[in-house]
Chain A
Amino acid sequence: MKFVDEFRQRSQTESLARLIAEAATRDYTFMEVCGGHTSAIHRFGIPSLLPDRVRLLSGPGCPVCVTSADYIDRLIALASLRDVTVALFGDLMRVPGTLLSPAAAVAEGADLRVVLSAHEALQMARSDPRRKIVFSGVGFETTAPGTAVTVMQADSEGRDNFYVLSAHKLMPPAMEAILKDGTRIDGFICPGHVAVITGASAFDFIPERYGLACVVTGFEPADLLMSVLMLIRQVNSSSPSVETEYSRAVSREGNQRAQAYLTEVFEPCDVQWRGLGHIALSGLRLRDRYRRFDAGAAFTVSLPESIRASACICGEILRGVRTPPECALYASQCTPEHPEGACMVSEEGACNSWFKYRHDE
């Protein structure tokens, strides 16, 4: 496949691994904050190509993993209303809520249906005007513009049976929260697809305020190794900056059309992250002009109160404080087939990736 296969050549990875081994003169810890990176790093066996001195940690970049149990409860409660269908991305189906996952709720009669895009949810609303369709808006800057475009379409055609329950989040505030929380790292493997929208400049505050290295990175083996090498060189020369390895998709200023859609429809708000807690201005909610599409305002639902008591340490894993095998539940009570925590559910969760690709370590 073009733009993919060229960056998967063995000769590239072998040379990069050697260059990294030569360049690594101390201990380094780098954090990836994109679920796509977590998954790619483990799938391609990147840690096995790195010297022991170079450690990669997973951060809070899996949108499914950081979605709060309260949000899952709300989706289920909405889908249990008589005339409401909730349209959601497939990754969310098995995420544990307080009492149930969406998949378990379907078995009990709730109407939750998997879609591949916000557009598909709007299409459902068009084809059945008597039914109210709630689209579950989950994802970071990469995904939120698609929701924004769709809300504007629904608005322009005067649709009154389409809603959004937004759990969209912003990545830079979460990265800053992790640094303020005291997680010790030398640099970030910055999220390539978030940066497609925001531009690489969205991460400038990290070298400027925290003196840490940043490389905006693609998703193939050569991309990942090249970025690790670039990060090591930044650390070695004590010259932290934001470099872009993934230049075939990312510019300094980002996709300004997408940014305009985002700004038109959404405004930043304070939200709760699973594992990280409350982060100021890190979420996106519909602006007043589009508030009539807000499922949170349009429907009244009651939510379960009980809190799940669990030994799950997803929160610490999402902050990069601990790794999956350090969890007492990992691979025993918590597996991809029977997940206890969100990090084991999602394909992009750290626990899920460890279980699939590094279980024998």
Chain B
Amino acid sequence: MCLSLPARIISIEGDMGQVSVGGVIFQAGLQMVEGVRVGDYVLLHAGFAIEKMKEEEAMETLRLLKEMEDAINGSDGDEVC
């Protein structure tokens, strides 16, 4: 029930939208997210978009993860900060 999944907005009509979760289409209330557009990713929970996903933050977390991987694998002097 706490399940929330990243969903891509494929159409918007008023404060409702159609979103795709890995190809499965759901209706989503968009009242809680400001200024979203078709193509944006939102977090879908119980029929509502509860937040817009932040691409830059996702990239930053992935960069940190990569840094850790490199640190643990890299005895070859890779740059690690």
For the complex, give the distance between the alpha carbons of A118 and B41 in Å: 22
- A12→B48 contact, CB < 8 A: no
The segment out of A143-151, A175-183, A205-213, A234-242 that lies at the interface is A143-151
Given A61-B2, A89-B1 in contact, is the A149-B31 Cβ separation under 8 Å?
yes
Given A62-B1, A149-B31, A257-B32 in contact, is the A117-B47 Cβ separation under 8 Å?
yes
The answer, yes or no, to whether A63 is at the interface (CB within 8 Å) is yes
Task: Tell me the A242-268 residues at the B interface (CB within 8 Å).
Answer: 245, 247-250, 255, 257-258, 261
**Range class of the B interface residue count:** 35 or more
Of A138, A248, A346, which one neighbours B54 at CB under 8 angstroms?
A: A248
User: B2 contacts which chain A residues (CB < 8 A)?
Assistant: 34-36, 61-63, 139-140, 142, 191, 193-194, 348
Task: Tell me the A326-351 residues at the B interface (CB within 8 Å).
Answer: 346-348
- A146→B29 contact, CB < 8 A: yes
- A119→B27 contact, CB < 8 A: yes
- B46→A118 contact, CB < 8 A: yes
- A15→B72 contact, CB < 8 A: yes
**Range class of the A interface residue count:** 35 or more
In the assembled complex, the CB of A145 is this many whole angstroms from the nearest CB of chain B, namely: 6
- B45→A193 contact, CB < 8 A: yes
Task: Tell me the A149-164 residues at the B interface (CB within 8 Å).
Answer: 149
- A2→B6 contact, CB < 8 A: yes
5 pairs of A and B residues whose beta carbons are closest in the complex: A117-B47, A36-B2, A248-B58, A3-B6, A247-B57
Other contacts beyond A116-B26, A197-B50: 5, CB < 8 A: A2-B6, A7-B62, A120-B47, A140-B2, A226-B61
22 sample A-B contacts, Cβ–Cβ < 8 Å, listed by A number: A7-B65, A12-B68, A12-B69, A63-B1, A116-B26, A117-B47, A119-B27, A139-B1, A139-B46, A142-B2, A142-B50, A143-B45, A193-B43, A193-B45, A196-B43, A226-B61, A226-B64, A248-B57, A249-B51, A255-B50, A346-B1, A348-B2
Which A residues form the contact surface with B (CB < 8 A)?
1-4, 6-7, 11-12, 15-16, 18-19, 34-36, 61-64, 89, 91, 116-120, 138-140, 142-143, 145-146, 149, 191, 193-194, 196-197, 222, 226, 245, 247-250, 255, 257-258, 261, 346-348
